[in-house]
Structure 1
Amino acid sequence: MNVLIMSDSHGLTDELEEITARHKDEVAAVIHCGDSELQADDPGIRSMWIVGGNCDFDGGLPNELVKEAGPYRFLIAHGHLHSVKSTLNHLKYRAQEEDASIVCFGHTHIAGSEIDGNILFINPGSIRLPRVRPERSYAIISLEGKQADVLFYDFSGNPIKALEKTYTFA
Structure 2
Amino acid sequence: MKALIVSDSHGLTGELQELKQKYENTVDIMIHCGDSELSPQQTELHGYQVVNGNCDFGSSYPNEIIQDVQDIRFFVTHGHLYNVKATMQNLLYRAKEAGAHIACFGHSHIMGAEVVDGVLLINPGSILLPRLRREKTYAIVEVEGHDASVTFYDLSGRLAVQQTFQLG
TM class by shorter chain equals over 0.9
Deviation at 1:34, TM superposition (A): 0.2
Partner of 1:101: 101
Partner of 2:135: 135
- TM-score between both structures, scaled by the size of structure 2: 0.97
Which moved further from structure 2: 23-32 or 128-137? 23-32
Aligned length: 168
Partner of 1:56: 56
Deviation at 1:49, TM superposition (A): 0.8
Q: In structure 2, how many angstroms separate the alpha carbons of the residues matched to 1:87 and 1:122?
A: 14
Partner of 2:167: 169
Deviation at 1:21, TM superposition (A): 1.0
Partner of 2:155: 155
- Is contact 1:111-1:123 (8 Å) kept? yes
Q: 1:27-38 maps to which residues of 2 (within 5 A)?
A: 27-38=27-38
Point out where structure 2 has 5 or more consecutive residues left out of the alignment.
none
Deviation at 1:20, TM superposition (A): 1.5
- Is contact 1:124-1:137 (8 Å) kept? yes
- Is contact 1:38-1:58 (8 Å) kept? no
Any idea what SS the aligned residue of 2:45 has? coil
Deviation at 1:65, TM superposition (A): 0.5
- TM-score between both structures, scaled by the size of structure 1: 0.96
Alignment partner of 1:91 is 2:85: no
Q: In structure 2, how many angstroms separate the alpha carbons of the residues matched to 1:59 and 1:13?
A: 16
Partner of 2:69: 69
Deviation at 1:59, TM superposition (A): 3.1
Q: Return the letter of the residue paired with 1:21.
A: Q
The structure 1 segments of at least 4 consecutive aligned residues displaced by more than 4 Å after TM superposition are none
Partner of 1:18: 18
- Is contact 1:142-1:148 (8 Å) kept? yes
* Identity value in percent: 48
Point out where structure 1 has 5 or more consecutive residues left out of the alignment.
none
Superposed CA RMSD: 0.9
